[in-house]
Chains A and B, each alone.
Chain A
Amino acid sequence: MSSTTTDTSSNAMPDDGVVRAADGTPLKKRLARALRREKLRSLMLIAPLLIFIVLTFIAPIADMLFRSVENNIVEDTIPLTVEALADWDPASDELPGEPVFAALHADLLIAVEERIHTRLGSRLNYESSGMSGLFRKTGRRVKRMDEGDYTAQFIEADEDWGDLETWRVIKRFSPPYTPGYFLNAVDAEQTSEGLQLKPENERIYLTLFNRTIVMSLAITVSCLLLGFPIAYLLAHLPLRTSNMLMILVLLPFWTSLLVRTSAWKVLLQQQGVINDFLVWIGLIDDTNRLVMINNQTGTIIAMTHILLPFMILPLFSVMKTIAPYYVRAAKSLGANDWTAFWRVYFPQTIPGIGAGAILVFILSIGYYITPELVGGTSGIFISNRIAYHISSSLNWGLAAALGTILLGLVLLLFYVYDKIVGIDNVKLG
C-alpha cells in the first residue's frame, strides 16, 4: 500500500466514532470479512469429505426416506383415469361411469406398450391383494378390446373391475403423496370407514418395534453388568496383565461377526456343547435339555457377546482417567469399601457408562444378522422386517416408513437421554 492512499484515506476518514482500519473500512466489517475468509478456507478443507458424505450417505438416505410418502406411480401410469375419477365419490354405491373406463382403456394401452402396468399392479397389491393379478390379466386383454362400452368389457376381462373396492383403492392412492406406508408401518389402514387398526391377525410392526426396544435395553443392561467389572479390572491391574486381558477383549472384536454368531449356535443348541455338558454333570436330564437358541435368550446372549467391547472400551478409557487418590481420600475420611466405590468412584464412571450404553443401544436397535440367525421367531427385530421388504417383497415404501420410524425413535431416545443424563456427560476417553 502506497503512502498516498494512506494519506487520502486518513484524510477522508469521517469523525463518527467508528473504529476504522487503515484503508477506512470499519474494523468490524474487516473483521467479519477476515472471519468469513477463514471459514471459507476451513470449509474448502473439509469440502471433499463433506461432498462425499452428502453424495454417498445423506442424499441416498434422504431419497430412501422420501419413498415412505412418495406415490407418483398411480398418476404417472394412469393419468387420464385419475383425472376422470376426480368427480367420482368413493362413498357412493355406484361404479364410476363409462368415461372412467374409457380413460382406463386409453391409459392401459400406453402402459402396456411401455410395460409399466404390472408395476402399478404390484404397487397397489401392497394395499389390496389381487391387484397385481388384476392388472396383469387386464393388460393381456386390453389390446383386444373393441371401441365402446368399456365398462362391460373390463368387467368381462376381470370381474374385479365391477367391484367398488377396486376403484376405492385406486381413488385412495391417486394423490402423489400417501400416508399409506406409514399407516401400514404402525399396523393401521385407511378403509372406506376411515382410519383403523388392522385386524388382529395381521398386526406385527408395533409388536416388533416394542420388542426391538425392550430387547435392545436388555442387551445394553447385560453388557453393562458384564462389562463394568471387566473394565474395572483392566483399568486397575498392572499394565502387563491388563494388556494381556485387553487382547482377550479385542480378539473377538476383530473376529468376523458371522463366525461368532455361528459359534453361539454350536454352543447353545439343544444338542450343543453347553447342554451336553449340563447333561453330563447331571444338572439336567437328557429329555429336558435347555432351549437357549432360536428364541429371545439366544439373541440376547449372542448380541451381548458381540457388543460387549463397545461397552468395555469407553468404560475402560474413562476409568483409566479417574485418579486413585479420590477413593483413598474417601477411605481415609472413614468411608467403607462400598461407600467409597458407590459414592466416589462410581459417579465418575457415569460418562463412560453413558457412552457405552448409547453405543450398544443404538447398534443393537438396528441389528439385523444376529437376530436373523439365532433369533428364531420370538427373537427377531424390526430390522429383519425392513430387510425383508427391501430385498424380498420389494415394498420399499413400507421399508422406508419403518426405517424412518426407527430413526425417529433413536433420535427421540437420544433427546430423552440428553435431558436426563446430558449429552455433554458422554466421554469416549
Chain B
Amino acid sequence: MKLKMLLLASVASVGFTGPVVSQDLEPCENCADEMTLVSWGGAYQASQVKAYSEPYAEMTGVTFVWDESSNEAVAKLRAMNEAGNVTWDLVDVVASDAIRLCDEGLARPMDVDAELADAPDGTPASDDFGDLLVSECFIPQIVYSTTAAYRADVEEWGGKEPEDICAMFDMETFPGKRSLEKRPINNMEWALLCDGVAKEDVYDVLETDEGVAQALAKLDTIKDQVVWWSAAAEPPQLLADGEVVLASSYNGRFFSAIEEQGQPFKMLWDAQVFDLDGWIIPEGLPEDRLNRVLHFVKFATDTQRLADQAKYISYGPARLSSAPLVGKHAELGIDMAPHMPTDPENAKNTFLYNYEWWADNRDDLDAKFQAWLAQ
C-alpha cells in the first residue's frame, strides 16, 4: 500500500507549473562523446528525446544514437554479453525486465544516492523515488498503468456504461467482443478480483493450483469472446474498428487514441495495474562510456527532466518531487493531470503488480495459461 500512497501523494499537487530551474551541469571527465540509447520507439521515445537527450546534447555536444529495441532488449543484451561486445549504453525497459536483467547479472547495480540527483529540496534520490526502486539495477522514469477502455457508442448496452473492471466478465450487461493481453499477468488478477477474491489475497490464491484453476475458470466464461493481443497498439485499433467493445492496454495508448485522434472511447480506470518503466545500464561498459552514461542519467532523471517528459505523454513521473512541476501537454495544450494514471480521480481503485511474485512464478503460470489458451 505504501507505493499507492506515494503515487497518490505525488499527484495531489499536479496542476501548476513550477519555475523552470536550469542547472549547471558538472563537467564530465574521461567521457565518451557518443551514446547509444535503447527505447520503445513511437511517441514514448519522442518524449524522451525532447525531454532528455535534446537538452543534454545542447549542453554537452554529445551525439545520441537511438535504437528502438526495448521489446527484445533482454534477449539482445544477453547475446551481446555472451559475445563480449555490449554496444548499448543505456536501455529503457519495464521493471519486470529490469529485475530479470539484474538477476542474470546483465545490468549494473546502481548506488542510487551517490549516482542520481537529489530532489531540489535536498531529499536524497532513494527517498524521492521511494518504493519505485524495485530492483537495485533499475532507475525508474515513469509510472504507467495497464487499464481498460470501452467504446461509448455500443447500442446493445442500452445506455449503460461499464463502471468497474468486472464489466469485462459481464457478458449479459455488456455483450460484445473484448481484447485482453495474451499473457497471464494482469488477466489472472482481474479474473480473481471479479470472482470475489479480496485484493490483498490475490497472490496468495494464485499461488495455489486451485487459485489458478479458479482464475482460468473465470476467464473461461469470456474465452470465446476475447481477441488476444500481443502488441499494445492493437487494442486501440481493434476498438476503433469496432472489432471489440472493451479492451485492455496501456493508458498512454488510449490517451493518444482519445485525445489526439478523437476516438469515441472512454477510460475505465477501475483496477488499473500500475507498472514502471525506466533505465538500466548494461554490465561491463568500458570506463569512458560508463562515465558518460552516469553523467547523462544523473541529468535525465532529475526532478525537472522527469516532469518535462510528462508534457509529451500521459505517464506519471517516477519522482515524488516531479509531480508539482507537471503541466500542460506540449502540443494539445490540455492539462495532463486528469490523464495521469496516478490522478486521484483515476486512482480510486488500483492494483499493485507484484514483481517478485511474478519473477518467481511467471514461467509456471505462463505454461498453464498458454496450455489453457490452446485448449
Interface string of A198-236 (1 = CB under 8 A from B): 000111100110000000000000000000000000000
Q: Report the minimal beta-carbon distance from A336 to chain B, rounded to whole angstroms.
A: 49
A425 at the interface (CB under 8 A from B): no
Decide yes or no: A271 and B104 within 8 Å by CB, A129-B361, A202-B367, A207-B374 being known contacts: no
- Contacts of B55-91 to chain A: CB distance below 8 A: 71-72, 74-75, 78
Q: Would A378 and B374 count as touching, CB distance under 8 A? A: yes
Q: Would B367 and A204 count as touching, CB distance under 8 A? A: yes
- B104 touches which of A118, A202, A377 (Cβ 8 Å): A118
- Which of A's residues lie within 8 Å of B, judged by CB? 114-116, 118-119, 121-122, 125-126, 129-133, 136, 201-204, 207-208, 269-272, 294, 372, 376-378, 385, 390-396
Q: List 10 A-B contacts (CB under 8 A).
A: A122-B103, A132-B103, A201-B213, A204-B371, A204-B374, A269-B241, A294-B228, A376-B227, A376-B228, A393-B366
Q: Would A201 and B359 count as touching, CB distance under 8 A? A: no
State the CA gap A125–B361 with chains docked (Å).
8
- A118 touches which of B75, B103, B182, B372 (Cβ 8 Å): B103
State the CA gap A126–B75 with chains docked (Å).
16
Q: Would B367 and A130 count as touching, CB distance under 8 A? A: no
User: B177, B362, B371: which has the most chain A beta carbons within 10 Å?
Assistant: B371
Q: Residue on B with the closest CB to A385?
A: B370
Q: Report the minimal beta-carbon distance from A86 to chain B, rounded to whole angstroms.
A: 27
Q: Would A126 and B105 count as touching, CB distance under 8 A? A: no
User: A203, A270, A385, A392: which has the most chain B beta carbons within 10 Å?
Assistant: A392
Q: Would A372 and B230 count as touching, CB distance under 8 A? A: yes
The interface residues of chain A lying within 8 Å CB-to-CB of B374 are 204, 207-208, 377-378
Decide yes or no: A132 and B359 within 8 Å by CB, A376-B228, A391-B75 being known contacts: yes
B102 at the interface (CB under 8 A from A): yes
B360 at the interface (CB under 8 A from A): yes
Q: Would A390 and B75 count as touching, CB distance under 8 A? A: yes
The interface residues of chain A lying within 8 Å CB-to-CB of B356 are 133, 136
Known pairs A201-B213, A269-B241. 11 more at Cβ < 8 A? A119-B104, A122-B104, A129-B363, A131-B360, A132-B360, A201-B371, A202-B367, A372-B230, A385-B370, A390-B75, A394-B78
Q: Would A204 and B75 count as touching, CB distance under 8 A? A: no
- Contacts of B338-367 to chain A: CB distance below 8 A: 356, 359-364, 366-367
Q: Residue on B with the closest CB to A376?
A: B228
* In the A-B complex, the 10 residue pairs with the closest CB atoms: A118-B103, A133-B360, A129-B364, A391-B75, A377-B373, A204-B371, A271-B242, A391-B72, A115-B105, A202-B367
- A392 touches which of B74, B102, B367 (Cβ 8 Å): B74
B243 at the interface (CB under 8 A from A): yes
Decide yes or no: A391 and B74 within 8 Å by CB, A118-B105, A132-B103 being known contacts: yes
Q: Would A122 and B243 count as touching, CB distance under 8 A? A: no
Q: Report the minimal beta-carbon distance from B179 to chain A, rounded to whole angstroms.
A: 10
- Contacts of B87-128 to chain A: CB distance below 8 A: 100, 102-105, 109
The interface residues of chain B lying within 8 Å CB-to-CB of A395 are 363
B368 at the interface (CB under 8 A from A): yes
Total contacting residues, chain B, CB less than 8 A? 37
Q: Would B227 and A294 count as touching, CB distance under 8 A? A: yes
Q: Report the minimal beta-carbon distance from A309 to chain B, rounded to whole angstroms.
A: 27
The interface residues of chain B lying within 8 Å CB-to-CB of A385 are 370
Q: Would B228 and A130 count as touching, CB distance under 8 A? A: no
Q: Would B363 and A118 count as touching, CB distance under 8 A? A: no
The interface residues of chain B lying within 8 Å CB-to-CB of A131 are 360
Q: Report the minimal beta-carbon distance from A16 to chain B, rounded to whole angstroms.
A: 61
Q: Report the minimal beta-carbon distance from A15 to chain B, rounded to whole angstroms.
A: 65
State the CA gap A132–B104 with chains docked (Å).
10
The interface residues of chain B lying within 8 Å CB-to-CB of A376 are 227-228
Q: Would B361 and A394 count as touching, CB distance under 8 A? A: no
- A204 touches which of B100, B242, B370 (Cβ 8 Å): B370
Q: Residue on A with the closest CB to B74?
A: A394
State the CA gap A122–B97 with chains docked (Å).
13
Q: Would A201 and B74 count as touching, CB distance under 8 A? A: no
Q: Report the minimal beta-carbon distance from A347 to chain B, rounded to whole angstroms.
A: 41
Decide yes or no: A130 and B361 within 8 Å by CB, A201-B368, A204-B371, A394-B100 being known contacts: yes
The interface residues of chain B lying within 8 Å CB-to-CB of A122 are 100, 103-104
The interface residues of chain B lying within 8 Å CB-to-CB of A116 are 105
Q: Residue on A with the closest CB to B356?
A: A133
The interface residues of chain B lying within 8 Å CB-to-CB of A201 are 212-213, 216, 368, 371-372
- B75 touches which of A121, A270, A394 (Cβ 8 Å): A394
The interface residues of chain A lying within 8 Å CB-to-CB of B74 are 391-392, 394
Q: Report the minimal beta-carbon distance from A289 to chain B, rounded to whole angstroms.
A: 10
State the CA gap A125–B177 with chains docked (Å).
36
State the CA gap A391–B97 with chains docked (Å).
11
The interface residues of chain A lying within 8 Å CB-to-CB of B105 are 114-116, 118-119
Q: Residue on A with the closest CB to B106?
A: A119
State the CA gap A121–B228 with chains docked (Å).
31
State the CA gap A121–B359 with chains docked (Å).
11
The interface residues of chain A lying within 8 Å CB-to-CB of B100 are 122, 394
Q: Would B373 and A270 count as touching, CB distance under 8 A? A: no
State the CA gap A203–B364 with chains docked (Å).
11
State the CA gap A204–B373 with chains docked (Å).
9
State the CA gap A377–B360 with chains docked (Å).
25
The interface residues of chain A lying within 8 Å CB-to-CB of B230 are 372
Q: Would A271 and B241 count as touching, CB distance under 8 A? A: yes
Q: Residue on A with the closest CB to B77?
A: A394
